[in-house]
Structure 1
Amino acid sequence: MNEERKRILKLVEAGKLSANEAITLLEALEDKGNEKTTKAEQTKHIVNEVSTNVQPENKHTKDDQKTHHYKQSSVKSKLTEFIDSAVKKIKDLDLDFNFGNAVEVNHIFQHSDALVQNLDVDVSNGSVEIIPWNENDVRVECKVKVYNLESIEKARESFLDEVVFSIDNHKLIFAVQKKQMKVLAKIYVPRVQYEHVKVRMFNGPISGEDLEVSTFRAKTANGTIKVAKINSIYMELETANGQIDLKDSSSKECEIETINGAIKVDGRYEKLDAQSFSGNIVCYLPGEDCHTIGVKTTAGNIDIDTSITRNIDGELKSTLGGFNCEIPHMNIVKEKNEVVQKYLRFKTTTDHENKLYMFAETKTGSINIKPI
């Protein structure tokens, strides 16, 4: 089974599997392994590893439901050997590309009076930062490490042979595919409304802020994604190994995915989907824009702060964690509070017509829901 897990992680590293597909396959392997364990062994494991300090909630009357405050006590647990092994493999991936001696060169690309509506950036190794400014020019400042060359002249020539910088049909393309170059790129673009912004990296972080764009996509295999003040219709952020931090932004639909790393989100999103295999997820969602929240992590806690001026239909699931739901006027539709399975379905009723559907699931962590 360990060999199968290694193959799955290698497929993720190669970009042939998405984070969501990898999680599904790894969970299937876990379920297959659990079938071989007898009920007696499972019971013994639970007794040894899990605290039995679980207090079931009493049934509530209709009067109690008006100001109901719901809590389930967490059970003590440790991550299973399966999760530890998978996460360690990802954390230990050496993607820093130490190819030996490197020569550093600086280069600036500039295009005056550029009319740009689309950005397409693809850098294999380094970092990318998108910076809007009040000029009509496009400027790309590059700090480059070129490996296995000894002179600055040859290093600069090698970089210029590999790099693609062009503006055609209102589209900016900047690309460096060669992994034996580490390119730290700061991309200055006019402060205008964009149609599509797409940034891809294999190794390195992605950052940017203050963009008005219809579609925004950022994807890296190994690195953090940190963006702020992005106003969009559709947003997609994805990394296999790294934290994702999305601040003070807005979007009609936002999808966030990481295998190893925490997710932090604040802003206004009509539909939010956030998934992590190993990492906490924290969401701060003010306003009445959001109608759907879907949050899922395997080894991490979930914290959601949201406006309560809407009718909320909530569904919470946890295997070994607990719930702390502080939503007022909450009516419990269904609940389960077993040692290794927690479930809560609740609804609220207000005078507002807007409705929010909330789904949150974690296997080993706890879920906290608080009003803003």
Structure 2
Amino acid sequence: MEQKKRDILQMVQNGTITADEAIILLKGLESEKPEAKEQSGETALEEAVERVEERRESEPTERVEEPKATEEERTESSEEEPTMEQRSQDFFEDVRKEVTNVGGQFVKLFQSAFDQVRDTDFTPPFGKGITFSETSTIDAYDITRVLVEVDNGSIRIDRTESDVIDVTYDVTAMGVPSEEKARELFDRHVRLRRDGDTLRIDNDLKLSKVDITLGLPSRTYDKLELENYNGSIEVSGIVATDIKVEAKNGAIDLTESTFRRADLETANGKVYVKNVTGDELEVDTLNGVIFVEGELVEVEAQSFNGNVSVTTTSRHARKLEVESFAGSAEVYVPNGSGVRGELETKLGRIDVALERAEQHDEKGDLFKRVIHFEREGATPTIHVKGETSTGLIKVDETLA
């Protein structure tokens, strides 16, 4: 199958067949495949090709019989007529515009749906709620693991110079007749407990919003695990071996922290990581921008609908992988570092902005461009991999 596609494209380059004829042959090959096609953009490409074909076929093609031209006139005419390569480029440019237009409409619809979820962050179902605050303190001398899980509400973790763990709850209770009843429900459903070296906080109040703020003493923790279903999660100034953050509907902020491994995931919200130090970082969001900057060795960052930017300042960096379906993807490595990588896009633009980098194109499918690049440097080689569908994909180096 792949060899047949290459043969067809070679015939276009040689001028044996036209671009229109090549498209028909390629579509014929695809119809022979029994497997279902992936839905991640291939269908949109086919539909765009069909629309361009129909539009071009509808254009007038009749020609008026003209007297035979002289040799000089034929020469001038041939210079004015577009070449086979120009016609092919025009055709693919039309297809690219069609797909970009459809992709933009799809992304707007996708964004609108998530915005509706975000904007209904917590709508009181039974009128105005009852608000109050609670505080707790627990001895932290042997706590090395902190696990927090809430249904509705934000989570914030800060470093303190205290010897105890301070917990503050800001509660908005719904569907209760009085504050006394609200506090009774809070005491029954919001739990703070010590389990050996682990501090656990969980809340299963479905119709109340509980924002939790923890002040953790300055030390190294084995594990920090935070999860909520509706609300933002912020972590600042924490040192932990393992950090895991999962938000179903809310933004994630991780700043001024140190870790061996961190996993950050949200379905709807941006992810912001700055001034951190870590060996491994994995970031994933369906709808939102990803911004990462720090002294990081390995990073994997993926957003379905949002731009992705990853910057490492570590001279020991090994691997940086970025991917965005409906946005751009950018990678920044330390100045003068050794780099080897691969950038791939369907309809976007590729920019290898590294000085002294050798690069070459890989002949891929009809709607795919791949560039391999390499540069020797004063540091161990950083392996970079990036992929987009329609957006810019870029690799560059930091100024310092």
When normalised by structure 1's length, the TM-score is 0.79
Q: What amino acid sits opposite 2:372 in the alignment?
A: R
Secondary structure in structure 2 of the residue aligned to 1:300: coil
Whether 2:51 is the aligned partner of 1:41: answer yes
Q: What amino acid sits opposite 1:239 in the alignment?
A: T
Q: Separation in 2 of the partners of 1:46 and 1:91?
A: 38
Secondary structure in structure 2 of the residue aligned to 1:29: coil
**1:260 positional shift:** 0.3
* Identical columns (%): 21
Which structure carries more strand by proportion?
A: 1
**1:46 positional shift:** 11
Q: What amino acid sits opposite 1:86 in the alignment?
A: F
Q: Deviations over 1:122-146 (max 9, x none)?
A: 0111111001111111111111001
Pair member with larger Rg? 2
Whether the 8 Å CA contact 1:97–1:180 is kept in 2: the answer is no
**1:310 positional shift:** 3.0
Q: Which runs of 5+ in 2 are unaligned?
A: 1-36, 58-84, 87-95
**1:46–1:324 Cα change, 3 Å:** farther
Whether 2:158 is the aligned partner of 1:134: answer no
Q: What amino acid sits opposite 2:112 in the alignment?
A: K
**1:179 positional shift:** 2.3
Higher relative contact order (CA 8 A, sep 6+): 1
- Shifted more, 81-90 versus 307-316: the winner is 81-90
**1:124–1:137 Cα change, 3 Å:** same
Q: Which runs of 5+ in 1 are unaligned?
A: 1-26, 48-54, 57-74
What is residue 90 of structure 1 aligned with on the other side? 114
Q: What amino acid sits opposite 2:38 in the alignment?
A: A
Q: Deviations over 1:145-189 (max 9, x none)?
A: 010012111111111110110122121111112221111111111
- Shifted more, 192-201 versus 337-346: the winner is 337-346
Secondary structure in structure 2 of the residue aligned to 1:28: coil
Q: Separation in 2 of the partners of 1:338 and 1:277?
A: 22
What is residue 225 of structure 2 aligned with on the other side? 198
Q: What amino acid sits opposite 1:88 in the alignment?
A: S
Secondary structure in structure 1 of the residue aligned to 2:110: helix
**1:264–1:35 Cα change, 3 Å:** closer
What is residue 312 of structure 2 aligned with on the other side? 285
Q: Deviations over 1:47-95 (max 9, x none)?
A: 9xxxxxxx99xxxxxxxxxxxxxxxxxx763352444433433332244
What is residue 82 of structure 2 aligned with on the other side? none
Whether 2:267 is the aligned partner of 1:230: answer no
Whether 2:184 is the aligned partner of 1:157: answer yes
1:329 pairs with 329, 333, 356, which one?
356
Whether the 8 Å CA contact 1:333–1:347 is kept in 2: the answer is no
Q: Deviations over 1:259-282 (max 9, x none)?
A: 000000000221100000000111
In the comparison of the two structures, how many residue pairs are matched? 320
Whether the 8 Å CA contact 2:359–2:373 is kept in 1: the answer is yes
What is residue 39 of structure 2 aligned with on the other side? 29
Q: Separation in 1 of the partners of 2:136 and 2:56?
A: 61
Q: Deviations over 1:175-226 (max 9, x none)?
A: 1122211111111111111000000000000001111100001110000001
When normalised by structure 2's length, the TM-score is 0.74
Which structure carries more helix by proportion?
A: 2
- Shifted more, 166-175 versus 28-37: the winner is 28-37
Whether the 8 Å CA contact 1:243–1:263 is kept in 2: the answer is yes
Name the Cα RMSD after superposition: 2.7
What is residue 13 of structure 1 aligned with on the other side? none
